[in-house]
Amino acid sequence: MRVCSVIVVLIGLCLGACAKTRLVQMPPSGPDWQRIDAAYVSAVQAANDSGEQSWQSGWLGNVWVNYFPKGSAGLCYQWQDLVFNAVAREAKSSPWKVGGIQVNKGTSKEHHAVLLYPAATAEPVKLGDLAGKGGSGAWVLDPWLRGTADVYVLQEWLKARPGGGADAAFEELPHPDGRTIR
């Protein structure tokens, strides 16, 4: 009975990972967003189509990358680097800035994604201020879970994190330690 339950759960996870309809929660509008979004979608699609590197997503993808690292990518920080590098150029000439967001640092549920927020935001960036605007002031670009160019309203993304994102922190990108996707 126990083995059957595990098999059913694994099949469900695999089938869920096959759902490739893009999730976009109330995106910003205008041509600046459209350029940023196009760069995002293009980068995620190029990663998925890559013949050089096998990009994985979600928890099963993490297992794959950790056990078969040669030629594999898809840990959340690798997706974060890929997305940041793709959208940063477009954001420079727009009313938007991009940075990183992390939750659950130092735990097995640690997660990283890209944050898109208004360029007029005061430094240092305070996530509580951005999320406090009903979440409409910032968006999270996070393809890790499904391998699609998903866009989340910051507040909703935080709610979905373990602990409700209470320990979420802004990350300066690119990383000062020079971390890259390779």
Domain boundaries, the chain: 23-171
Question: pTM to 2 decimals?
Answer: 0.83
Positive or negative torsion for Cα 67, 72, 74, 78: positive
What mean pLDDT is predicted for residues 26-42? 90
Confidence of residue 22 (pLDDT cuts 50, 70, 90): confident
SS3 call for 90: helix
What tens digit of pLDDT does each residue of 128-168 get? Answer: 778 765 555 799 999 999 999 999 999 889 988 888 888 89
* 70 compared with 2, residue with greater pLDDT: 70
Tokens of 84: 């940041």
